[in-house]
Amino acid sequence: MSLVLLCVYLQIGNAVINDETDLIGMSDYLGSHAIITDETAFAILKFCNFSPNVVTQSDICIDAAKDFGYNTEAVDIYNIYAPLCFDGNLTTNPKKTSWQNFDPCSDYYTSAYMNRQDVQEALHANVTKLDHDWEACRFVYKLES
């Protein structure tokens, strides 16, 4: 079984520069802040190979990645101290962007905007009419025999 992270970046937000160092750094940071357990951080750092050409991971790595996902599900990994969005219902007038008045639901506004047909037409996006909505990042799990 292999774990693949597919991300599409449209010149918004922080683009991933190097998956290998970003994922290692994130595991180390979240482990040192007790967001993930020391055991999970250790397993990721020791048993996962984030090199670009790797197609399969060890079972230990896959289990650690699942623990990582479970333990970071309710955390903004870009700001572990930020408030969380508990109501994903969109308003017609999202809050004005401000570092002083952070809106933890802003991802929902971005996602709704990027999935509007007029926006996709203007960006010449989704011309093949994909069967799923636009997402900032998507995890794809492939089973290998």
For 84-128, the pLDDT digits (tens) are: 777 766 655 666 666 677 777 777 788 888 888 898 889 888 888
Residue 141 CA to residue 5 CA, distance in Å, equals: 9
Q: In terms of residue numbers, what domain contains 64?
A: 2-79
CA dihedral over 4, 17, 130, 93, signed as positive or negative: positive
Average pLDDT over residues 71-95: 75
Task: Tell me if 55 is assigned to some domain.
Answer: yes
CA dihedral over 53, 58, 61, 63, signed as positive or negative: positive
State the virtual CA torsion across 85, 20, 16, 35 in degrees, nearest 10: 20
pLDDT attached to residue 38: 93
Task: Tell me if 70 is assigned to some domain.
Answer: yes
Task: Tell me if 40 is assigned to some domain.
Answer: yes
**Whether pLDDT at 1 is above 70:** no
Q: Which residues contact 102 (CB under 8 A, 6 or more apart)?
A: 82, 83
Task: Tell me if 58 is assigned to some domain.
Answer: yes
pLDDT attached to residue 44: 92
Task: Tell me if 98 is assigned to some domain.
Answer: no
Please count the structural domains in the chain. 1
Task: Tell me if 22 is assigned to some domain.
Answer: yes
Query: CB atoms < 10 A from the CB of 136, how many?
Result: 14
pTM over cut 0.85: no
